[in-house]
Structure 1
Amino acid sequence: MALAIRDVREHDLDAVLALNNAAGRSILALDAAQLRYFYERAEYFRVAEIDGQLAGFLMALRDGGNYDSPNYRWFSDHYESFVYIDRIVIGNAFRRHGLGRILYCDVTSYAEVRVPLLTCEVFLEPRDDVVVLFHGTYGFQEVGQQRMGDSGPQVSLLAKDLPSYAYVRETWLENGGLPDEPWLAERELPVPATSLPTSQPRRLAGERRP
């Protein structure tokens, strides 16, 4: 089995959209315009590919954006610097093989050299104890709860401290920046050509399933 974790490419978007919308009620559905919004703006957007087949993906955004998700806004109101995991989706045929942990390790590697905190949320309605346990064993702690909108689900807002960041900041970020290494490179964002239609709800945040 050949596994590759790489930045999403434009030709992946149809497969990503299908994977997202087949994930069930624990993942909020997207349309093509909403997915392109992430493609054009998400600092971290990587796919897991097994033997050439798209098996899963993870999308995350940095602080300071204009993303109109109530959960992203909650973290923006409470923390100055963070990476926010919007959603992770693993295809049905590839679940229970550790891909969720692999993608979480990868996004942690991305985040810990840039910010002190990795954040996300999990749905409490319906509650999935496997998901809650996954995040607890990976070092996340609850820092708050809120309801998504007037009638949306209750969510647990989670954060994970990244202790490596202080060393990276003092050693590199405050002294010229990160080394010029491929694994440290930023994702090259395409020039934004779209925005979310005003008639569409902009609440895009999705709960994650390992």
Structure 2
Amino acid sequence: MPHTFRAPVDADLPTLLALNNDHALELSELTTEEFRELLKVAWRTRVADDLSAMVIAFDQDTARISQNFDWFKARYPRFAYVDRVVVAPSARGQGLARALYEDVIAAARAEGQTLLCAEVNLDPPNPASDALHTSMGFAPVGSAALAGRNKSVRYYVRPL
């Protein structure tokens, strides 16, 4: 059965914020206001109906300052960028992350985008995410230590 996703509504925000913050090591913890702002500026946000998974993506015109997003903006004139994708532990192994990526890919292609960008933690490592990105045709294009954080990331791109 294919997965279906929808845009979040206000009533979803507490559950989605908890999902994000439960995975702060991979994603970065946000306050309610920071999360609201992220959703407001996002180019595309989709959630599973039961709120067990979500994706937040930007395009090159998103009004957002972030070291990772800025890295891509400095190198590519036009792109879609997956800022975060997260799946609750109870929903893993069902293909939700891949399906959320496919949703973003379809939306990006519909807008004429030709490149999808993402990053994955190098330190602390996230081998499951590395494996997903590799299996979906992403190639590493760089890495960076994150300013003010004990974390480094690998940058990935894939043609659309």
| TM bracket, shorter-chain basis | over 0.9
Q: Tell me which of 122, 125, 137 is aligned to 1:139.
A: 137
State how far apart, in whole Å, the 2-side matches of 1:101 and 1:14 are.
24
Please give the secondary structure, in 1, of the residue aligned with 2:65: coil
Task: Please give the per-residue CA displacement for 1:156-175, whole angstroms capped at 9, x wherever unaligned.
Answer: 1111111xxxxxxxxxxxxx
Higher relative contact order (CA 8 A, sep 6+): 1
Does the 8 Å CA contact 2:41/2:63 hold for their aligned counterparts? no
Assess if the C-alpha contact under 8 Å between 2:3 and 2:99 holds in 1: no
1:151, distance to aligned residue in structure 2 (A)? 4.4
AA in 2 matched with 1:7? A
Deviation at 1:85, TM superposition (A): 0.5
Could you tell me which runs of 5 or more consecutive residues in structure 2 were left unpaired when the two chains were aligned. none
Stretch moving more, 59-68 or 73-82: 59-68
Structure 1 unaligned blocks of 5 or more: 163-210
Other-structure match for 2:48: 48
Change (3 A) 1:34 1:103: same
SS of 1:78 mapped into structure 2: coil
Using structure 1 for the length normalisation, give the TM-score. 0.71
- More helix, by proportion: 2
> Does residue 84 of the first structure (1) align with residue 88 of the second (2)?
no
AA matched with 2:154: S
Structure 1 position 147, deviation (Å):
1.1
The residue number in structure 1 matching 2:158 is 160
Code of the aligned partner of 1:141: A
Secondary structure (helix, strand or coil) at the match of 2:132 reads: helix
Q: Which residue of 2 aligns with 1:68?
A: 65
**What letter matches 2:39 in structure 1?**
Y
Deviation at 1:24, TM superposition (A): 5.0
Q: Retained in 1: the 8 A contact 2:3–2:96?
A: no
Cα offsets for 1:51-98 (capped at 9, x unmatched): xx2111000011023311101001000000011110011111101111
The 2-side partners of 1:151 and 1:90 are apart by: 23
Q: Which residue of 2 aligns with 1:6?
A: 6
Displacement of 1:150 in angstroms is 4.8
Q: Tell me, in whole angstroms, the C-alpha distance in 2 between the residues paired with 1:63 and 1:29.
A: 23
In structure 1, the partner of 2:101 is: 104
Normalised by the length of structure 2, the TM-score is: 0.92
Kindly report the root-mean-square deviation, in angstroms, between the aligned alpha carbons of the 2 structures: 1.6
Instruction: Report what 2:110 is aligned to.
Output: 113
Whether the 8 Å contact between 1:64 and 1:76 is mirrored in structure 2 is no
1:30 is matched with: 30
CA distance in 2, matches of 1:112, 1:159: 15
Work out the CA distance in 2 between the residues paired with 1:40 and 1:132.
28
The list of structure 1 runs, each at least 4 consecutive aligned residues, that deviate by more than 4 angstroms after superposition, is: none
Match of 1:200 in 2: none
Aligned equivalent of 2:124: 126
Q: Distance in 1 between matches of 2:80 and 2:23?
A: 23
Paired with 2:149 and 2:100, the residues of 1 have a C-alpha distance of: 31
